[in-house]
Each structure stands twice: as C-alpha cells, then as structure tokens.
Structure 1
C-alpha cells in the first residue's frame, strides 16, 4: 500500500514540473514593439503554449489605462548577458501575417 501511495505522489510531482516554453514580453504605452528594447526588462510571464501567451498579452493591452501597448511571445528563451535574452522564435499575433 505504501509503495502504491509513493508511486502516486511521485507521478504528481513530475506532472507539475513541466517548464513553460513561452515568455511574454509586454511594452506598455508603446504602439509597436521597440526595436531597441531589452527583453529582460519587459518579461510579463511564462506560458505553456503560444496561444496562452498571446492571449495574455492581448488582454494586458485591452485592460491597460491607455488601451495602447504591444507584446510579443518568445519561444525557448535563454539568458545571455546582463539583462539580455535570446529566443528561438518570436510571435506577436495568433494569425500569421502574409507579406
């Protein structure tokens, strides 16, 4: 009985340790993502899916006092140097844009 309980508890712990892969960067009162922004200063959360991340960013803009803001989500971001990050890919919309 103890072995079954221990196995159950271990499975719960491993299920709760999944790392979020998406990082939300939010730029309040900026109509566009600033080209020279330091990503580390604009982290606003971590999410498991791109959809969760983008929806949170859109909600933050909508709920802001000015109604103006921009956001992007970075996939698999890692720290580089002081307050600097690098992400494999970036998204700023749920709908892909065509050029």
Structure 2
C-alpha cells in the first residue's frame, strides 16, 4: 500500500515538474531590421505580423524589447526601434493560417536599452 502511494506521489510530482517546464511564452519578437526592404510591410499591419520575421519567444515584454534592442546594437543598425521590431502578446494562428496577436508593442520605449 505504501509503495503504491509513493509511486502515485512520485508520478504526480514528475507530472507537475514537466507541466511547469512547458509553459508557453507570452511574447513573440518580430524582428525586421535584418530585412529592411520588408520592414514597412511587416510593421505597417497592426492586425497581423508575419511568421517569417519571428526571432524568439519571451516571458515578459521587457525581455522581448531588450532582445530586439540588443539585436539592433549587434547589427550596428541605425534603424529606429519603432521600425525594427514588434513585441506581440499571445499570438496564435487561426484556421486560415493567419497569425493574430492580442496586443502589439512596436519597438522599445528606449532605443538604447
């Protein structure tokens, strides 16, 4: 009896650890500074961003913006953050394979994060 309870507790603990490690990030970074010709097309649409520009997934807006600003610095780009990247919250692809996000923040409040 004790062995069965121990196995169940161990299984429950293992399941909770696995579920805790697989949570979905809140924010998606769409970075267009690497392809300036398509930047206007990608940033101009507030309702849809394109999957080809996804650079990463982050738990917080601050992390997403810091990564976007860091990429600008690494590339030595003079493009303003407001034209270079978008951080979008809770993005999903619908049945028509269109990407929709609940909330979008264009660039960073400080270009030199």
Structure 1: give runs of 5+ residues left out of the alignment: none
Per the alignment, residue 68 of structure 2 pairs with 57
RMSD (CA atoms)? 2.1
Gaps of 5+ in 2: 1-5, 43-48
Partner of 2:30: 25
Equivalent in the alignment of 2:104: 90
TM-score, normalising length from structure 1? 0.75
Alignment pair present for 1:67 and 2:67: no
State the aligned residue count. 90
Whole-angstrom distance in 2 between the partners of 1:63 and 1:41: 20
| Greater share of residues in helix | 2
TM-score norm. by structure 2 comes to 0.67
The aligned residue for residue 78 of structure 1 is 92
- 8 A contact 2:28–2:57 mirrored in 1: yes
